[in-house]
Each structure stands twice: as C-alpha cells, then as structure tokens.
Amino acid sequence: MFSSRPLPECGSVPSDAQASLQELKIACSNCNLRELCLPLGLHSRDVQRLDTLVANRRRVRRGGALFHAGDPFVGLYAVRTGFFKTCVATEDGANQVTGFQMAGELLGLDAISHDHHTCDAIALEDSQVCVIPYSQLEELSREFVELQHSFHKIMSREIVRDHGVMLLLGSMRAEERLATFILNLSRRLQARGFSPSALVLRMTREEIGSYLGLKLETVSRTFSKFHSDGLLEVNQREIRVLDEAKLRKLVARNQF
C-alpha cells in the first residue's frame, strides 16, 4: 500500500543539503528556506543583510512548547525544521487550534500586539526554529525598505489566511472542510519540495478536528468516506491523494 521506506519528515530540509547544514553558519543567506521564509521576495544580494538578525536557533522536542500564552514577547520564530501547532484557549478549557506551521513559516506574530504571547505554540515533532529578536527586526526594517515591506506582507498574509479559515469554519460542511485542509497541506508541502500526493500527517485527528471545528470522530468518519469514495488512500496518518480533481470539486461546491 505504502512503501516501507519512511516518507521524509514534513518540515525537514530536502535531501541535497541535509547532511552538511548543521555545520554551516547560521545565516539566512545560506538557508535553503530563503524562498519561503522572512527573506521572501528579497533580492539575493540583500538576504545577507538578515544574517546579523537571525543569530540563534532553538530546539523544541516533540510535545514541547516553543512558547505559551502569557509568555513575554521577545522575538518571532521561523520554523527551520519540524512542525508546530498554535492554539488559543479560554479560561474554562475550550481550546482551538488556530494553525499548523511548517518550515519557513513564522510564529509569534500575535504577540506584538500586547507584548506577550496570546497562544501556545507546540511542536508536533522534534523541531528547530530560528529566533528573530523583534527589536532588531524593527530596527533593521527601518533602514532596509525591502525587509520592511516583506515583513508587512507576511503579517498581511497571516490575516488573509485567517479570513480563509473563518470562511471555512463559518460556511463549510465537514467534507468541504477536510478537503480544503488536505489540499492546503498538499500545496504547502509541494512548495517545500515534497510530494503533493503522499502526505504524512503530523497531527492527531483531534488536532485536525479542533482546527476545522469538528470532533475527532467526524474527522475520522470523513477520512473513511473519502477513502471509500476513492478520493484518498488513508492509513492512519499516511494519506495519499488519489483524486485531486474531485477533492477540489468538493471545495468549490455550489451551495446555492
């Protein structure tokens, strides 16, 4: 059904550079995520101006927290390898996964507003992040127009993404939500050089459900339905997209 060779980790660096990366200087200009991450859109000669900014890395073990809601805000984090979820909670225990972040994506943007984090960021696999001290980012982006613009675009993109999730949560049914989710994951993995059709989910059914506003049983049932309809091959967390066109049709259904 699936080859026994384990699929590469979602957030890992594609194979070519994997072995040598650890020895390289920590620097955006060396990083093969520069097409996705904060340097997005910067001219290659400008990227090295970021190297002073991003000087530290941090490791987070699977299940560990990069930060918790309430923690003081010191900096943003760029996922280097691994996979995270962010979730918000109310005092009474209600919990909502607000996003899943993979290599090249930024964490911590919510914290700028109140100088402390407003959500938890939990690693779903052993991960590594680049630390971007916020005051230095502000300073550098004052003298470096392209960085300023790039950073604004990243924040704006997060707002647009959130609006998409609101659309999903507010007006789609279970099948549409899950199809949207799978296609989104697929697209992001593809942008990182992985197969868009063979995915390994890093999160539980419950976490998917929380993100999509569904219960875990509904997620499981919907996966089973997609399986029996021939849209997906589902084997626990290994998913293979068999009929992307039909998945897309589900997303762009005509409700009226």
Question: Which residues are near DNA by CB under 7 A?
Answer: 173-175, 201, 204-206, 213-221, 223-224, 234-237
CB of 237 to a copy of itself, least distance (A): 22
CB of 143 to DNA, least distance (A): 46
> Rounded to whole angstroms, how far apart are CA atoms 96 and 166?
13
> Rounded to whole angstroms, how far apart are CA atoms 165 and 163?
5
Residue 109 binds a copy of itself (CB under 8 A): yes
CB of 246 to DNA, least distance (A): 17
Which CB sits closer to DNA, 77 or 84? Answer: 84
Residue 173 binds a copy of itself (CB under 8 A): no
What is the bridge-based pairing of β-strands 106-107 and 238-241? unpaired
The radius of gyration computed from the CA coordinates of the chain, to the nearest angstrom, equals: 19
State the amino acid at position 56 in one-letter form. N
* 152 close to 142: Cβ distance less than 8 angstroms: no
* 130 close to 56: Cβ distance less than 8 angstroms: yes
Indicate which of DNA, a copy of itself, none lies near residue 205 (CB less than 5 to 8 Å, by partner kind): DNA
Indicate which of a copy of itself, DNA, none lies near residue 175 (CB less than 5 to 8 Å, by partner kind): DNA
DSSP, collapsed to helix, strand or coil, labels residue 120 as strand
Residue from 9, 105, 110, 207 that binds a copy of itself (CB under 8 A)? 110
Indicate which of a copy of itself, DNA, none lies near residue 174 (CB less than 5 to 8 Å, by partner kind): DNA
CB of 252 to a copy of itself, least distance (A): 5
Residue 252 binds a copy of itself (CB under 8 A): yes
CB of 234 to DNA, least distance (A): 5
> Rounded to whole angstroms, how far apart are CA atoms 9 and 79?
13
Q: How far is CA 84 from CA 29, 102, 198, 221, in A?
A: 24, 7, 20, 25
